Amino acid sequence: MTSYFNEMYQGNSVRAPYARLQDWMSAMPAELRQMKQAEAEALFRRIGITFAVYGEGGDPDRLIPFDMFPRVFSGTEWARLERGIKQRARALNAFLVDVYGRGEIVRAGRIPARLVYLNEAYEKAVVGFVPPKGVYSHIVGIDLVRTGPDEFFVLEDNCRTPSGVSYMLENREIMMRMFPDLFRENRIQPVDSYPEILRRTLASVAPAKCDREPTVVILTPGHYNSAYYEHSFLADLMGVELVEGQDLFVEGEFVFMRTTEGPRRVDVIYRRIDDAFIDPLCFRPDSMLGVPGLMDVYRSGGVSICSAPGAGVADDKAVYTYVPEMIRFYLGEEPILNNVPTWQCGKSDDLAYVLAHLDELVVKEVHGSGGYGMLVGPKASADQVELFRARITANPANYIAQPTLALSTTPTFVAEGIAPRHVDLRPYCLVGERIELVPGGLTRVALTEGSLVVNSSQGGGVKDTWVLAE
């Protein structure tokens, strides 16, 4: 039987970061716990924090399950994570500037040319263009897992439009409202500065032609998008306009927003739509979500798009395997955070190993997300394993495989009481004139006993994430 690192307990003793939670947990009878859980759900519903899943029937505005038991990091643990996350964000952005420019890392033989230039996320429309401050990915969501007291691994990088930060902020708000005494007793570092830091980050990458206080907007696909709540939530907290493509238009060298007082020039667009839909004159001609002519203005320095079109080539799951090499190549440093060992099925030796050990491995589509298109070998049926064997054999380069990690567990409130459940973590690193992240992130928890899949779209829940002040 696999043993898992329990973040609260070491043997029979409570680990230091969780010391003050033992009494709180013991003093909460089942009736009070159920009452508080119902209160949390009512707050989430009233505030409107819901999550739609495409292609599903039933409730389009379902709640992501919220677990009241917080996940806790010491200040020392967080300091190391923060250094590693910032290092990774710097290297990923250096890689993006390089591969849309001279491609030195490819010339040096450190990463195969086909993985970059034949990648479906590589956008030829921005070749030769360097965005303001040399930043392609302005919000980098780094998914981390833990396997021991000092063992952290990066599971994947999200360089385009990582979602979930609204849950990080609302989880904290609800916990503070429901358990104010806990916050008085514990020195927990705040996360509520995130919207202000995000606004500052976006303003700091205003384009060359901006000669005044930049006007920032959030571009959303609209209210049918699964993350629409987050788009409107962030716009409110940042004090910026939430716009759809039809609210913007190009005239001359600039982008303008339609307002009741006439057109207003826009300098920075935080876009929450995919590259393909940004500009129908440059990408998909059938897009109704974008702004015709936007890319011409972008390339001429009239507007900034965050994150930049083309940033997705850096979070491809095959390119991920080369991030440690990027850190060495661009920064001249050793990686602070390790990758999960990864087999690329596009390599014949790796493919042979993966096919021989499918029932032991986690297999993912190179461009997959949200827990879809993956096989968790040890939990899969024989039919599922054979289905993936056929898929991988038909298109090996579309898949990578990783060992099934012994993800750490944290105490979680479940129907029977309190039980350990597996967790991961997504901190949000903001990259502009400076690189900053708030002390915390989104902890996702696999609520089903034994499950390693934490994605909200696959039935996972969320927790508040505490970083203690030292």
For 404-413, the pLDDT digits (tens) are 888 999 999 8
Question: What pLDDT score was predicted for residue 153?
Answer: 97
Q: Tokens standing for 89?
A: 């964000």
| pLDDT digits 0-9 by tens, 22-71 | 889 888 888 888 899 889 888 888 877 665 554 444 455 667 889 999 99
- Per-residue pLDDT averaged across 322-348, rounded? 96
Question: What pLDDT score was predicted for residue 57?
Answer: 46
DSSP symbol at 253: T
- Per-residue pLDDT averaged across 343-352, rounded? 93
d(CA 399, CA 368): 9
Question: What pLDDT score was predicted for residue 2?
Answer: 66
Question: What pLDDT score was predicted for residue 370?
Answer: 53
Max mean pLDDT range (16-30, 404-418, 434-448): 434-448
Question: What pLDDT score was predicted for residue 372?
Answer: 61
Q: What is the pTM of this model?
A: 0.93
Q: Tell me which amino acid residue 51 is.
A: F
pLDDT-wise least confident of 18-22, 23-27, 400-404: 23-27
Question: What pLDDT score was predicted for residue 453?
Answer: 76
- Per-residue pLDDT averaged across 89-114, rounded? 98
Let me know if the fold of 208-302 is the same as that of 343-403. no
Domain 208-302 is found in CATH 3.30.470.20:
no
Higher pLDDT, 58 or 221: 221
Question: What pLDDT score was predicted for residue 54?
Answer: 46
| Helix segments in 193-253, DSSP class H | 194-204, 228-238
| pLDDT digits 0-9 by tens, 160-194 | 999 999 999 999 999 999 999 999 989 999 999 99
CA dihedral 330, 333, 337, 341 (to 10 degrees): 70
Domain 343-403 is found in CATH 1.10.287.130:
no
Q: Tell me which amino acid residue 91 is.
A: A
Residue 318 has pLDDT above 70, yes or no: yes
CB atoms within 10 A of CB 173: 14
Question: What pLDDT score was predicted for residue 380?
Answer: 86
pLDDT-wise least confident of 19-33, 80-94, 260-274, 325-339: 19-33
Higher pLDDT, 132 or 58: 132
d(CA 92, CA 98): 10
d(CA 187, CA 74): 10
| Domain ranges (residues) in the chain | 9-207+303-339+405-467, 208-302, 343-403
Residue 415 has pLDDT above 90, yes or no: no
CB atoms within 10 A of CB 244: 17
Q: Report CA-CA distances (Å) from 327 to 114, 151, 153, 426.
A: 20, 19, 15, 20
Strand order in the sheet with 268-271: 241-243, 216-219, 268-271, 304-306
- Per-residue pLDDT averaged across 238-261, rounded? 97
Question: What pLDDT score was predicted for residue 51?
Answer: 59
Question: What pLDDT score was predicted for residue 371?
Answer: 57
What confidence tier does 226 reach under pLDDT thresholds 50, 70, 90? confident
d(CA 258, CA 249): 8
Place of tokens 């054999």: 393
Q: Tokens standing for 260?
A: 């009741």
Residue 221 has pLDDT above 60, yes or no: yes
- Per-residue pLDDT averaged across 305-326, rounded? 95
Question: What pLDDT score was predicted for residue 56?
Answer: 46
Question: What pLDDT score was predicted for residue 378?
Answer: 85
| pLDDT digits 0-9 by tens, 260-312 | 999 999 999 999 999 999 999 999 999 999 999 999 999 999 999 999 999 99
| Dihedral sign of CA atoms 217, 222, 223, 225 in order | negative
